[in-house]
Amino acid sequence: MKNLILLVVFALSSVVALAQEQAIYSQYQVLPVLINPAYTGFNDQHQLLVNTRSSWSGFAGSPKTYTLAYNGPISDKLALGGGIYSEKVGDMNTMKLSLSYAFRFRIQKAKIGLGLSTEFLRRKISNDLLTNDIVDKNDDVLEGLASGQQIFDATMGGSLLYDDRFFMSIALPNAVRTRLDDVPVDGSTSSSSLFEHYIFQLGYIADIASQNFKIIPSITIRQIRDTPYQIDMNVQGRFLDEKLIAGITFRPSDKGAAAFMIGTKFKQFQLFYTYDLSFSKFQQYSGGSHELSISYSFARKPKLATPAATEPIK
């Protein structure tokens, strides 16, 4: 019975790998640049970021993802970023390269960011899978994926921070999506609507200065390609000048799920750990999901002042 369950879950994970192109992160609350290019260089700092996530731990072949990224300003209004994303699910390997661009400006108390991320994605299965006895040797999809599937994609995003308290953002994944190969995975090459897939977030930063902590409630609504509609209700607390950061996310969709985060900020470093669990019966067969991020940030060098013209000698 246990072997049968493992086989079913492995099959489901393969379907997800074929369909889902957007990386799943639980730590987007503290590292929003992971899901929205509008946050590229948004805080006027250079940032190096490493993220790793293990989903459905306890299963052989469960999803494991790795992200290495950079973002930072190149001028007062422009910022650039880039990253490498790798995922392995069973015999499926996915590699994604991305470049992001952002334009940042202020209108009175409003800080606004507009961003674009261009991505090249390649998926490939292990050739050993074609020799497996449970695999159909004449499956065109698997044969094509053995050679590799290639996709060009683009994500658009916008972000707003008003009075350092109210924040709102929207990201539009798959805004431009084009297949660069002939692998027969699906029949579509682009989204039928610009707003067909989206990640929308709304929140507020309550700064209790007298007690030296912040409470940040927020809600995130997302509809990602070939995945169920999802709502995240988040509460985050930052204490002791962010030396202690904790948060909880509740997802009421389906059977329900929750994510628990703890982290710290020490000088220019940030460290976060998140544990996800499901309230469905599936959780009894899984050790949950684990996510770890480490970032290093440093400020942009200030502009050199223009030397004053030398007065002529009288």
- Exposure of 174 by Cβ count < 10 A (0-12 exposed, 13-18 middle, 19+ buried)? buried
CA torsion angle 223 228 229 230 (round to 10): -100
**DSSP string over 127-182:** GGGGG-TTS-TT-HHHHHHHH-EEEEEEEEEEEEEETTTEEEEEEEEEEEEEE-S-
State whether the Cα torsion 179-180-182-183 is positive or negative. negative
pLDDT surpasses 60 at 309: no
Q: What residues pair up with 270 in beta bridges, in sequence order?
A: 265, 295
> Where residue 302 falls among pLDDT bands split at 50, 70, 90?
confident
Selection from 16, 27, 12 nearest residue 275 by Cα:
27
- Residue with tokens 């499956």, as numbered in its chain: 139
Q: What is the mean pLDDT of the chain?
A: 84
Asked if residue 216 lies in contact with residue 206, where contact means CB atoms within 8 angstroms, the answer is: yes
Cα 292 from Cα 307, distance rounded (Å):
47
Asked if 171 and 152 count as a contact pair (C-beta separation under 8 A), the reply is no
Cβ atoms of 244 and 221 within 8 Å: the answer is: no
The fraction of the chain above a pLDDT of 70, given in percent, is 79
Q: What was the pLDDT predicted at 170?
A: 97
pTM: 0.84
Provide, rounded to the nearest whole percent, the portion of the chain with pLDDT above 90.
56
Query: pLDDT category, 144, cuts 50, 70, 90?
Result: low
Position 235 pLDDT exceeds 50:
yes
C-alpha closest to that of 63 among 279, 289, 256: 289
Pair type for strands 166-179 and 198-204: antiparallel
Residue 313 clears pLDDT 70, i.e. is over it:
no
Q: Could you say which of 2.40.160.40, 3.20.10.10, 3.40.50.300, 3.40.50.720 is the CATH number of the domain covering 2-299?
A: 2.40.160.40
Question: What are the structure tokens assigned to 274, written together?
Answer: 């998140």
- Round to whole Å and give the CA distance between 39 and 34: 9
Q: What is the CA 132 to chain-centroid distance, rounded? A: 33
Of 7-11, 229-233, 234-238, 300-304, the least confident: 7-11
Flag whether pLDDT at 310 surpasses 60.
no
What is the DSSP code string of 229-284?
A: -EEEEEEEEEETTTTEEEEEEEE-STT-EEEEEEEEEETTEEEEEEEEEESSGGGG
> Contact at 8 Å (CB) between 151 and 107?
no
Determine the Cα–Cα distance for residues 270 and 45; give it in Å rounded to an integer: 14
210's tokens: 């007298």
For residues 120 and 91, the answer to whether their CB atoms sit within 8 Å is no
Task: Give the tens place of pLDDT for each residue, 1-49.
Answer: 444 444 444 444 444 444 455 678 999 999 999 999 999 999 999 999 9
Q: What's the pLDDT tens digit per position in 93-130?
A: 999 999 999 999 999 999 999 999 999 999 888 766 66
Average pLDDT over residues 280-307: 81
In the chain, domain spans: 2-299
